Amino acid sequence: MALMLDSITLPTDLIWIDEYAYSPVKQSINTAVNGGLIIEAAAALAGRPITLQGGDDYAWASKATLELLRLKQATPGLVMSLGLLGVTYSVIFAQPGITAKQVIDYSNPASEDWYAVTLKFIEL
């Protein structure tokens, strides 16, 4: 199953590392003057983080792909379509949205050289 950000194909074996580290319920807990507990809870309307991570030996992206992603990241507030695990999400980049490390260090990497990447998004 292809992993896509708009028309950019992403490495299919990126791992969604914070899929279960988010709760759609937001909660505020305070203590009243008399010592009573005040708990307020509501459903979050947006803001789920989606962090996709590769590693040193999997989910590599080419420098050419990173350059396409960097162009999108440079547009403030750009809403994108992320196709992930058969579901499409409307997302923006969290900042910094892209981190990458060369798999093999070159002083002047070519567009086909590989990088281990982490991509950070916020679902709208």
pLDDT tens digits, 28-59:
999 999 999 999 999 988 999 999 999 999 99
Cα 46 to Cα 49: distance, rounded to the nearest angstrom: 9
Q: Report yes or no: 62 and 109 within 8 Å, Cβ to Cβ.
A: no
- The length of the chain is 124
The pTM is what? Answer: 0.88
Average pLDDT over every residue of 70-88: 96
pLDDT, residue 21, reads: 93
- Is the predicted pLDDT of residue 2 greater than 90, yes or no? no
CA distance 74 to 53: 20
The answer to whether residue 15 scores a pLDDT higher than 80 is yes
Over residues 66-84, mean pLDDT: 96
- Domain residue spans in the chain? 3-123
Average pLDDT, the chain: 95
Q: How many CB atoms lie within 10 A of CB 11?
A: 19
Q: Which of 112, 98, 93 is nearest to 6 (CA)?
A: 93
Cβ–Cβ contacts within 10 Å for residue 104, how many?
8
Q: What was the pLDDT predicted at 45?
A: 86
